[in-house]
Amino acid sequence: MSAEKTVLYRRDGRIARITLNRPEVLNAENMTFLNDLTEAVHALRDDREARVAIVTGAGRAFCSGVDLKALSTGILDRAFFTDIEYLWDILENCDKAVICGIHGYCLGGGLQIALACDLRVAADDAVLGLPAVKECLIPGLGSYRLPRLIGMGRARELLLLGEPIDARRALEIGLVNSVVPRTQLEEACLALAERLLAVPHTSLSHIKRLSNLAFQTDFTHFMQAFVPAMHACLASPEHQAAMAAFRVEQAAKPNS
């Protein structure tokens, strides 16, 4: 029997699940992890039934980042650090809403996963940080995404010092969207997923795509993307259903 994958993918109804699955090493990232992650992220991208995804880690931590043992022995080559970034780009730009459920350590490459997700729910035991600078490395495209999320000043504090912060501080600076007790993390992620499922998928996917352009295009080019997206929403069955429901609601109101 083959060994269980280090990253798992499954779907329950319209909710997809990606689970980081190297709990014995706090879900540290090595070449096997990268290969299994590639399969899982591609499966999510291509799953036409999935509308929302939840990314979590098995065991005591979400992800402790790059496997330093593999890095120190030369097992990880330079391509690892670029190939994994292209996977986060797929995650960030797929047409699903992606929730990251964070508990325990969320460091380095682990935080980079979280930054590529749309919404982040942290357990109260979460520890987040980008310690790459202490190993004379660059924290991948965390150096690109983090300033866009929390602002340059706070981002540089995390990037240049490499020091971790707790969940409450992460909430204060906007790095996570909410903090819940550890025992309620799964419930909180599922509740948020259900709320997102109630949103028309046509508008959700266009809003996600357009907001990803917010920091990397000018007004003229943004409008070129916005106009056809708005037209697609106006023509969608979901919009027509919403307007029909509004008309029914208005008709039921007594005359003023």
Mean pLDDT of 84-98: 96
**Tokens 């098995």 sit on residue:** 58
**Tokens 């939840």 sit on residue:** 54
Q: How far is CA 177 from CA 120, 167, 223, in A?
A: 5, 10, 28
Which residues are CB-contacts of 249 (< 8 A; sequence separation ≥ 6)? Answer: none
Mean pLDDT over the full length of the chain: 94
The domains found in the chain, sorted by start residue, are: 7-197 (3.90.226.10), 201-252 (1.10.12)
Q: What is the 3-state secondary structure (H, E, C) of 71-98?
A: HHCCCCCHHHHHHHHHHHHHHHHCCCEE
Per-residue confidence (pLDDT) for residue 219, from 0 to 100: 84
Per-residue confidence (pLDDT) for residue 180, from 0 to 100: 98
Per-residue confidence (pLDDT) for residue 233, from 0 to 100: 85
Residue 3, pLDDT > 90, answer no
Mean pLDDT of 148-156: 96
For 171-228, write each residue's pLDDT tens digit.
Answer: 999 999 999 999 999 999 999 999 999 999 999 999 999 999 988 888 898 889 889 9
Angle at 98 between CA 94 and CA 101, to 5 degrees: 150
Mean pLDDT of 146-152: 96
What is the number of alpha carbons within 13 Å of residue 39 lying toward its C-beta? 13
Mean pLDDT of 123-134: 97
Question: 15 is written with which tokens?
Answer: 């909710």
Per-residue confidence (pLDDT) for residue 2, from 0 to 100: 52
Which residue, among 15, 25, 12, has the nearest Cα to 52 in the 3D structure?
Answer: 15
Q: Are 25 and 66 in contact (CB under 8 A)?
A: no
Which segments within 130-182 are labelled E, that is strand? 165-166, 178-180
Question: 98 is written with which tokens?
Answer: 């992606």
Residue 76, pLDDT > 80, answer yes
pTM to 2 decimal places: 0.91
Which residue, among 126, 4, 2, has the nearest Cα to 56 in the 3D structure?
Answer: 126
Q: Which long-range contacts (CB under 8 A, 24 or more apart) does 165-173 make?
A: 165/127, 165/128, 165/129, 166/126, 166/127, 166/128, 167/102, 167/122, 167/123, 167/124, 167/125, 167/126, 167/127, 167/128, 168/124, 170/122, 170/126, 170/128, 171/122
**Higher pLDDT, residue 255 or 146:** 146
* Three-class secondary structure of residue 11 per DSSP: strand
Per-residue confidence (pLDDT) for residue 1, from 0 to 100: 41
Mean pLDDT of 47-65: 98
Mean pLDDT of 235-247: 90
Rounded to whole angstroms, the Cα distance separating 108 from 139 reads 6
Percentage of the chain modeled with pLDDT above 70: 98
**R_g of the chain, CA atoms, integer Å:** 20
**Higher pLDDT, residue 34 or 75:** 34
Q: Are 5 and 36 in contact (CB under 8 A)?
A: yes
